[in-house]
C-alpha cells in the first residue's frame, strides 16, 4: 500500500491531531470497545503519606486497534497496564473487556514484559505451550496452536532450542507467541523492546506491525520511544504525571501498512513533534 500523503496545510494537519475526548461515554459508537478503562484511580502509601499514582483515568480501544501510551517516567504507565492485566487492584474505577468487568487476571488479556520472562528449563515450544497446558487444553489442540504460532513468529526451526540459545529479539518473539497462543482478546505490552539494541528494536517493530496485520489482535502498548509509538499505533494516549492522568488522545493519520523508511517522512516527523510538544507542555 503506497504511503498516503497528508494535506500540506498546517490547519489540516492540526485537525488530524485534534485532541479527542477520553470519556468512555463518548466512545459508544457503532461498535462496543474491546477494552475500556473507566474512572480508574490508584494510590499507594509511602512513609504514612498517600501517593496518588493514577487519578480518574479513562481510555478505550476498539477491536483490532493498536494503541500506545507514552508519558514521562513515573507517570503511572506500568501501574495502569498492571491494573488492566489484573495484577494490581485499583482503588476505584473499573476495567472492561467486551463490556464485561474483569475482576483480576484472565486469559482474555495477554501480557508481554520488557524483561525476558521465559522459563530457561523449557524449550521454545514448551514455553509457548505452558499456558495452554495450565488451561488443560487437549494435547492435539496445544500441538496445533504451538506449531501455528511458531510459524507466525518465524521460529519453527528453533522449536527445540532453549532460551539461552536465543538472541534478545528471538526471546521476545517467543514471549509474544506464548501470549498470543492463548488467543487473548487484548494483548498488553510493557516496553517489550526497551532492552534491545537499536537495529534489533527496529526489526522487532516491523515484525510486530506485520504480526498485528496478520492476527488482528487488539494491542495496548507502553513505550518511552515516541518514534516507536508513531510507527506502530493508530492512536497515542499521552499521560501526565503527579497524578497520572490521560492528558491527550492523538489520532495517527498514517496508513495501516508501514515501512521503516516512513520514519524519515516529513509527515511522520510532524506527528512525532506534536507528541513531543504535548509532553513538554507539562513542564
| pLDDT tens sequence across 134-188 | 989 999 999 999 999 999 888 999 999 999 999 988 999 999 999 999 999 999 9
> What's the confidence (pLDDT) of residue 30?
60
pTM of the model: 0.85
10 Å CB burial of residue 139 (0-12, 13-18, 19+) is exposed
DSSP state of 6: P
Note the helical H segments in 58-123.
77-85
Collect all residues with Cβ–Cβ distance below 8 Å to 227 and sequence separation of at least 6: 263, 272
Indicate the SS3 state at residue 172: helix
- CB contact at 8 A, 272 and 227: yes
Query: What strands, in cross-sheet order, belong to the sheet with 109-112?
Result: 109-112, 186-190, 218-222, 66-71, 235-240, 245-251
> What's the confidence (pLDDT) of residue 123?
97
Give the orientation angle of helix 139-152 with respect to helix 198-215, to 10 degrees: 130
CA gap 82, 111 in Å, rounded: 9
Cell of 196: 534491545
CA gap 59, 33 in Å, rounded: 10
10 Å CB burial of residue 236 (0-12, 13-18, 19+) is buried
Residue where the block lists cell 506534536: 274
> What's the confidence (pLDDT) of residue 114?
81
> What's the confidence (pLDDT) of residue 41?
94
Q: Splitting the chain (283 residues) into consecutive groups of 10 residues, what average pLDDT does each group show?
A: 32 40 44 94 84 93 96 90 94 95 91 86 96 92 94 92 93 92 93 87 91 92 95 95 91 92 94 92 64
Cell of 85: 492485566
Q: Which of 204, 109, 210 is nearest to 223 (CA)?
A: 204
Residue where the block lists cell 505452558: 130
Residue where the block lists cell 488522545: 249
CA angle, 172 as apex, 122 and 140 as ends, to 5°?
A: 50
Amino acid at each position: 500500500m503506497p504511503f498516503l500523503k497528508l494535506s500540506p496545510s498546517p490547519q489540516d494537519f492540526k485537525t488530524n491531531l485534534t485532541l479527542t475526548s477520553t470519556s468512555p461515554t463518548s466512545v459508544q459508537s457503532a461498535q462496543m470497545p474491546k477494552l475500556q478503562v473507566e474512572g480508574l484511580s490508584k494510590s499507594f502509601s509511602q512513609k504514612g503519606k498517600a501517593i496518588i499514582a493514577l487519578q480518574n483515568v479513562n481510555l478505550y480501544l476498539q477491536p483490532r486497534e493498536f494503541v500506545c501510551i507514552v508519558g514521562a517516567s513515573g507517570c503511572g504507565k506500568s501501574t495502569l497496564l498492571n491494573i488492566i492485566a489484573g495484577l494490581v487492584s485499583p482503588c476505584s474505577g473499573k476495567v472492561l473487556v467486551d463490556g464485561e468487568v474483569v475482576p483480576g487476571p484472565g486469559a482474555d488479556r495477554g501480557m508481554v514484559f520488557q524483561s525476558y520472562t521465559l522459563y530457561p528449563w523449557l524449550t521454545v515450544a514448551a514455553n509457548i505451550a505452558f499456558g495452554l497446558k495450565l488451561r488443560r487444553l487437549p494435547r492435539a489442540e496445544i500441538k496445533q496452536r504451538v506449531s501455528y504460532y511458531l510459524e507466525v513468529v518465524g521460529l519453527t526451526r528453533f522449536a527445540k532450542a532453549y532460551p539461552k540459545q536465543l538472541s534478545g529479539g528471538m526471546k521476545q518473539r517467543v514471549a509474544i507467541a506464548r501470549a498470543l497462543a492463548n488467543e487473548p482478546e487484548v494483548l498488553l505490552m510493557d516496553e517489550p523492546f526497551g532492552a534491545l539494541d537499536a537495529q534489533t528494536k527496529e526489526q522487532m517493530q516491523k515484525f510486530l506491525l506485520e504480526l498485528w496485520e496478520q492476527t488482528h489482535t487488539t494491542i495496548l502498548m507502553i513505550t518511552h520511544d515516541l518514534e516507536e509509538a508513531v510507527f506502530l499505533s493508530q492512536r497515542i494516549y499521552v499521560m501526565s504525571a503527579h497524578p497520572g492522568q490521560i492528558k491527550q488522545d492523538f489520532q495517527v493519520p498514517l496508513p495501516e501498512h508501514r515501512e521503516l523508511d516512513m520514519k524519515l517522512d516529513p509527515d511522520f516527523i510532524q506527528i512525532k513533534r506534536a507528541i513531543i510538544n504535548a509532553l513538554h507542555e507539562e513542564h
